Chain A
C-alpha cells in the first residue's frame, strides 16, 4: 500500500502524529491524553495514529476503550514485532497531514515541547528533538557522547540525540524516505543524505523518561553495529571499490611482498620454511585481499547494472517560465515542471 496521494486526502488535516508502541511503553490512555492536550494547544487540525509494533493486550484494550469513547484516533496493529522502522512506515502510510510528527510510545519529552519541533519546520524539512538538560549519570552522558562522536566522525554530521523518537517533518520527507531494519535511529542522517534540511531542536526531557533496564553488553554490540551500518551506508553504497578495493589491495600487496621475501630467503639463503607458519600467513593475506577486492568489484557491478535506479542527486525544483503562448497549450509533460512563484 502506497502513501495517500493528495486527491485521497479528505478534508485538510494539518498535523498527523504517529505514535509507535513497542515493548517499552507507558500507560497509553494517559499518554494519549497527554499528547492530545499538546496537539490541541497547537491550534491546528490534527490526527493521532497509534501503531502497535507487536501484540500487547493491555495496549489493545486501552486503545479500544478510547475509541469506544469516540476519541479521534487511528490504531494500526502489526501482527508481530517488525521493529520501529516498519512501524513508522506503517504509520506514515495512513498519515494524512501536511506535517507529520513522530512520538515514542512512552514518555521521552515534555509533550508541551512538540510545538517547538513543529515551529522549527519553518526553516527545515525535518526537526529532531534533543533532550536537554538530560537526566542520568555522568557515565551515561559519556557513553552517549562517544557514540554520537563516532557517528559524527563517520558521517561528518553533528547530532547529539539520535535516540530521541520525537520528530516533526514535512510531508515530502515521508514521501521519499524508506526505513527498514534499525534505520529509524538514523532518520536524521538518512534525511540529510536525501538532501533535506535537518534541524536539531532542544526539548525538555520528560521526568518519567528513565530507562529501567541495565545497559547490557548486547546494547553496546548493537550500537557498534549501528556505527558500522552507517559507515557502510555512507562510504560504501556509492563507491564500493574505493572502500573494499583499498583494503583489499593493501592486504594483497603486503602479502605479496612478504611472499617474495620468503621465496628469496628460501631459495637464496636456504632459510627453512617448514617449521614456520609465515608462508600460511602470507597466503592468507593475499587471498583475503583478493576476495575483498572481488567483493568491491561485485558491488560496482551491482551499481553499474542498476545505475538507472540510483540517482546521485535530489532535485529541489525545476524552474522554467513559459511565454504566454506556450502556457495556454501546456502539455502534461510541461505541467510536471513547477514554475517558480
Chain B
C-alpha cells in the first residue's frame, strides 16, 4: 500500500481515470446489458410487461452509455499505447466479438421495435438481442480476466514462435477468464434487476424483478468464489493481491458489507438502498481487480510506468479532461433532469 502512494503521479492518475470510466460504464452500460439478459430469461404471467419495461430503459441502435467505453479505449491508447497494442493484438478475437455483440444488440433492438412485420420476425430479432446482451458482458469479463492472469502479456512475447492457438486463443479461453466472464454477467444482471425494480411503478413487476435481483445476487456469490478458486492456479498475482495484501482485508469486508446490504435491502423492499449498495458492490469488485493488478497494465511485464506516453501528452489530455469535466458534467446532469421529468409525466 505504501509503495502505491510513493509512486503516485500523472501516469497513475491516468490509470485511475481509465478505471473510473470503466466503472461508470459498468454501472450504466452494464445494466443495459443486464436488461437484455432478463429479456432472454423472461418468464411468468407478466412477460410482455417485463419486456416493455426493459425496452423502455434502453435506447435503440447505440446506447449513449457506450461513450464511457469509447473513453476507456481512447484514454488507453493515448496514455498507455504499448499496452493498448498488446491488448488489440492478443485479444483480437474476444474484442472483435465484443464489438459484434454491441452492434448486433443495438441493431436487433431496432428491428424488434419497428423493423419486423410478423410475430415470428419479432421473436427472432428479440432472441438475437437477448443472446447478444448475454454474450457481450461475458466477453468483457473474459477480456479482463485474461489480462489479469498475465497470459496476454506472455503471449505477446511469443508471437511468431508458437502456434496461433497459443497466442490468440489460449490466453482467454481458459477457466479463470471464463469464470470472470460469468461473474461479470451475474453482476450486470443483478444491477439491471435492482434498477428495474427501483424504477417501475408497477407493484407486480417490482416483485418480479426483486426476485430476479435476489437470484442474481446469489449467482454473484457463486461466481465470485468460483473465480477465486480458479485464480489460485491461473492468476496467482490476482489472488495474492485480493487475499494476501495489506489492503485486502478491509476491501473484502467493504465488498461483503455492500453485498449483504444489497440483499438485505432487497429482502426488506428498500429499493433505493438496494440500488446504492449493488452499485457499491460492483464498483468495489472492479477496484479490487485494479488494485490487485497494480502497477501492471498488462502483467507480467507491461506496467503503468514502462508503457506510459510522454509526459507532455498526459499534461495536455489532463487539461482537456478538466475542461471537459467542467463543461460536460453540468450538461449531463441537466440532460438527466430534462429526461427524468419527461418520463415522469
Do A and B make up one complex? no
Interface residues of B (CB under 8 A from A): none
Contact surface of A with B, Cβ cutoff 8 Å:
none
